[in-house]
Homo-oligomer: A and B are copies of this chain.
Amino acid sequence: MQEFQLIQQIQQQTNSVLPVASQGVAVGIGDDGAVLEVPAGKQLVISTDTLSSGIHFPVATLPYDIGYKSLAVNLSDLAAMGAVPRWALLALVLPRSEPQWLQSFTAGFLSLAQDHNVILVGGDTSAGSVSITVTVMGLVEPGHSLLRSGAQPGDLIVVSGTVGGAARVLELMQTGQFVSEQHLLDHPHPRVALGQALTGYASACIDISDGLIADLGHLIEASGCGARVNIEKLPAAGVLAGLEDEQKWNYQLAGGDDYELLFTLPPGHKTLLTRWSRDLALDLSVIGTVMEGEGAYCQAPDGSEFQPRGAGFEHFGQRACDP
């Protein structure tokens, strides 16, 4: 199968899902570039992430799940910016041409795209070790994007959903154990609606890809602040049940790949949390407070400091999951 045919296959699957004429696509897949209409009065938000086999997903991951996840981690970045997703590009490197692999991959990708009204407008296919680079675009009101840099001392630190589940699932899989919650690793839910709800209220926001404490570190460094995290407030994924406290805390603080949103909220907006949580059917946990100074301090239930193993640990080529 030639590159041209691969592109045609993706194009046909794409067209069967969503009408290209909608949503500002003047030229979609099939020319040297896509031509898009950004509505007047909106800013364009754009982000790109690469997933490599064996690094960002286990080699045995099903192609459908790879397709889903490669878009999910990118939509999570748009969520963290508060943007409304609109378009995507897909650059696909495959060692061989496998129409069935591609069909399944594309189905997973488009399934999530459809959920969020995202149109695949172009891309590239080439040969090499499996690697997928997705570029996503979304729209925000001017000046309303959620940045990492706006947190102020006194702001609440809030996290959506649960944390630590994806890392625990990965470890169970790697040690050959049966895992019924594999969806925590393979099917993260990008918190797109939450990100949009937060615009105008949250003072800073980031998505949790590297691990809660590492990503909180990025946020407070960008904001020029410190943070105190109350470990007993951390929401735990069900798959962590039965673990010893310290092991659980390590998953929650240092495990990556959850794609929940971590955001800071001025305390005057605290009552909004209940409404958002109800409207979005999503747990929102206040886990700490932004402080003067720098660095994140994790407080154990007994009041002592807890230092997670592996927090921020990020050797090139040794990460399991990191877009």
- Supposing A50-B133, A56-B126, A129-B128 touch, asked if A43 and B31 sit within 8 A by C-beta, the answer is no
When distances are taken between beta carbons in the complex, the residues of chain B under 8 Å from A46 are: 33-34, 36, 87, 89, 121-122, 135, 137
Tell me if A18 is interfacial: C-beta within 8 Å of chain B. Answer: no
The 17 listed contacts between A and B (C-beta, < 8 Å) are: A2-B314, A2-B316, A4-B218, A6-B316, A31-B222, A32-B81, A32-B206, A32-B207, A33-B46, A33-B77, A44-B44, A48-B123, A50-B128, A50-B131, A52-B129, A95-B317, A128-B129
A33 and B131 contact, Cβ closer than 8 Å, known pairs A47-B122, A95-B317, A316-B3: no
A80→B32 contact, CB < 8 A: yes
A6 CB, nearest partner CB in chain B, Å:
8
Encoded as 1 (CB less than 8 Å from any B CB) or 0, chain A from 22 to 66 comes to 000011001111111110100111111111100110000000000
Q: In the assembled complex, which residues on chain B have CB atoms less than 8 Å from the CB atom of A31?
A: 81, 147-149, 222
Q: How many angstroms from the CA of A91 to the CA of B30 in the assembled complex?
A: 22
Is A126 a contact partner of B55 (Cβ separation < 8 A)? Answer: yes
Complex Cα gap A244–B34 (Å) = 41
Which of B3, B81, B97, B133 contacts A91, CB < 8 Å? B133
Contact A47-B26, Cβ < 8 Å, known A2-B314, A316-B2, A316-B3: no
Q: Enumerate chain B residues within 8 angstroms of A45, measured Cβ to Cβ.
A: 33-36
The smallest beta-carbon distance between A319 and chain B, in angstroms, is: 7
Interface: A323 (CB within 8 A):
yes
A interface, CB within 8 angstroms of B: 1-4, 6, 26-27, 30-38, 40, 43-52, 55-56, 77-78, 80-81, 83, 87, 89, 91-97, 121-124, 126-129, 131, 133, 135, 137-138, 140, 142-143, 145, 147-149, 205-207, 218, 222, 314-319, 322-323
Q: Are B314 and A127 in contact (CB under 8 A)?
A: no
Tell me whether A319 and B127 are in contact in the complex, defined as CB-CB below 8 angstroms, given that A33-B47, A93-B50 are known contacts.
yes
Is B26's CB under 8 angstroms from A36's CB?
no
Give every chain B residue within 8 A of A315 (Cβ-Cβ).
2
Q: Which residue of B lies closest to A94 (CB)?
A: B316
A33-B78, A35-B140 known; 7 new pairs, CB 8 Å cut-off, are: A2-B315, A3-B314, A26-B142, A49-B124, A56-B126, A127-B317, A129-B131
**A143 closest partner in B (C-beta):** B26
Taking CB atoms, residues of chain B closer than 8 Å to A145 are: 26-27, 33, 35
Complex Cα–Cα for A4 and B32 (A): 33
Chain B residues with Cβ below 8 Å from A55 are: 126-128
A145 to B30, CA, bound (A): 14
Q: Is the beta-carbon distance between A4 and B50 smaller than 8 angstroms?
A: no
Which residues of chain B have C-beta atoms less than 8 A from A323's C-beta? 124, 126
Across the interface, A316 reaches (CB within 8 A) one of B52, B127, B222, namely B127
